[in-house]
Amino acid sequence: MTKTESKKQVWLGLDLGGTKILAEVYDQDFNLLGSKKRKTKAELGQKEGLQRLLRTGQDALEDAGLSPKDLNGVGIGCPGVLDLEKGNLKRATNLGWEDVPIRDLLSKEFGVPAAEANDVDAGTFGEATHGAGKDARCVLGVFPGTGIGGGMVYEGSIFRGKKGSCLEVGHMPVVENGLLCGCGRRGCLETVSGRLAISAAAAVCAQRGEAPWLRENVGTDIANIRSGALAKSIENGDTAIETLIRQACETLGSVMGGLINVLAPDVLVVGGGLADALPDLLMESIEQGMMPKIMESLQGSCSLQLATLGDHATALGAAAWAKKQVMG
């Protein structure tokens, strides 16, 4: 297999999540050829974590019956702060990593050009090229989970700053002098509509006896009150949990309405853990909060869509981004 034969192109995509690494190998039409997933955590340390990342990529190639010499390029979606000029991962707080020359490291390991992107940017690019936003001119992605990530693909390219990612939807201010956010500022959207904020409010409901199923079956430790547990709580009659999630998602929808006024996307894709666990409730509540905020001239211009790629979005998007950077 030669790298000049377009029909035999091979692209490796890596999703460096906070708790897992996913590596997927694709052909030129983005059919999945092989994959490998491994858990990761901050306790591993940066050196061992990077070794695990590279090993996962190599194992995905092996699963596809290929080797690095068959590759055309490799892409990675990273959480945290990137220096896009240097190709460095400046900081990944959840992993405890700092100052990783990620582009050069991947290029050296696999012997091909490498491309890096923020993980949400990569996920949005995946949905724009092969998912819910395929063939749209402008795709805005919003992914409510532990935080709230945002990304945009405009005319086939990731919309981002000169040196770093943008579309920090979760850190848009929504409450004057509100709760302290992880970013160090107060009243950000994540403090109202992020999954951690919802879990904290749900724990209070459980402690007060307003969510009896949640209290009995999950408890009040917010580390255990994840999206799946919230869905089961609602399914088993905890109406207080449904109410607080609706309120949080309506606030999210209100912000998304404002983004439509500013960016005029053709498609707005919603994904993430809450979308997977509570798709109908989430989308209905977002739309209820969003529609009154959209200017009359833009009403009906944007299609609200649920993400379709699931856990594959970031790895596929990273591979597709690598192809665009290499092939143009």
Give the confidence band of 3 by pLDDT, cuts at 50, 70, 90.
very low
What pLDDT does residue 17 have? 86
**Per residue in 16-66, pLDDT tens?**
987 899 999 999 999 999 999 999 887 889 999 999 999 999 999 999 999
Domain locations along the chain? 6-119+312-327, 132-308
Continuous segment of H or E residues that includes residue 125: helix 119-130
Asked whether the predicted pLDDT for residue 281 surpasses 80, the reply is yes
Assigned CATH topology for domain 132-308: Nucleotidyltransferase; domain 5 (3.30.420)
List, for residues 63-108, the tens digit of each pLDDT value: 999 999 999 999 999 998 999 999 999 999 888 899 999 999 999 9
For the stretch 290-326, pLDDT in tens is: 999 999 999 999 999 999 999 999 999 999 999 999 9
The two domains 6-119+312-327 and 132-308 share their CATH topology (first three levels equal): yes
Other CB atoms within 10 Å distance of the CB of residue 296:
6
Banded pLDDT at 7 (limits 50, 70, 90): low
Rounded Cα distance between 16 and 229, Å, is 25
User: Per-residue DSSP letters for 66-112?
Assistant: --GGG-SEEEEEESSEEETTTTEEEEETTTTEEEE-HHHHHHHHHTS
Among the CATH numbers 3.30.420.40, 3.30.565.10, 3.40.50.2300, 3.40.50.300, which is that of 6-119+312-327?
3.30.420.40
Mean pLDDT of the chain: 94
DSSP string, 144-208: ESSSEEEEEEETTEE---SSS----GGGSB-STT-SBPTTS-BSBTHHHHSHHHHHHHHHHHHHH
Query: Which pTM value belongs to this model?
Result: 0.93
DSSP 227-286: HHHHHHHHHTT-HHHHHHHHHHHHHHHHHHHHHHHHH--SEEEE-SHHHHHSHHHHHHHH
